[in-house]
Amino acid sequence: MNPAKQDPGKVVRPTKWPNLFVLPASKDLSGAEVELVSKIGRENQLRKGLAPIENDYDVILFDTPPSLSLLTVNVLAFSRQAVVACQTHPYSFAALDRLFEIIELIRENLNPELSVCGVAATLYDQRTKVARDVLKQLQDSEITRDLLFNTVIHNNTSIAECSARGCPIAFEQRSNRGAIEYQALAEGIIQRCL
């Protein structure tokens, strides 16, 4: 985010849910990666852009794409804590080593306050051996075992359907397994991270 382009306070929008605000992405975000490549201090552009509103909120959450792009690096350079979501798939598990290396580099060079407060196992399908194996690896890995939240998020089409409608499942289908699991995960994050 280029602070000269927009005041984030003017872009933040309330939602129909109390105390929940969003800073929506725009089509300009797709070109941000290209713009950031040649910029001096590119890793701290988000920090500069959000500085005017950083203290206006108790918690600021970012949902980053599952890639180690400059946008993700900016989020990590800004954040105090990270929750890592790991799909129960071998490729996702294999990528964790590199992600934790990047987080350590960011902590050493850009943001000494950054820590990983937890790992959430997601898209779990207990019917498949591969998902059961990856969950077991998450539970046994020296890197993740102490960080793994007790709650596992199962694969659930209702979550995707609610997301497509722009409505959190916790408000639309409170008794749905996905809503219950995300509520439990949120409570775990609050206990451990805040």
Report pLDDT digits (tens) over 91-145: 999 999 999 999 999 999 999 999 999 999 999 999 999 999 999 999 999 999 9
Name the pLDDT band for 4 (thresholds 50, 70, 90): very low
Q: What percentage of the chain reaches a pLDDT higher than 90? A: 69
- Considering the chain, tell me which residue range(s) the CATH 3.40.50.300 domain(s) occupy: 83-194
For the stretch 31-58, pLDDT in tens is: 777 888 888 888 999 999 999 999 999 9
The tokens of 56 are what?
């206006």
Q: CB of 43 within 8 A of CB of 77? A: yes
Q: Which residue has the tokens 């949902």?
A: 63
pTM to 2 decimals?
0.88
Identify the CATH homologous superfamily for domain 83-194: P-loop containing nucleotide triphosphate hydrolases (3.40.50.300)
- pLDDT recorded at residue 5: 62
d(CA 74, CA 86) in angstroms, rounded, equals: 20
The tokens of 1 are what?
């985010």
The overall average pLDDT reported for the chain is 91
Name the pLDDT band for 3 (thresholds 50, 70, 90): very low
In order of 22, 154, 188, the CA distances from 151 in angstroms are: 26, 9, 8
d(CA 106, CA 121) in angstroms, rounded, equals: 23
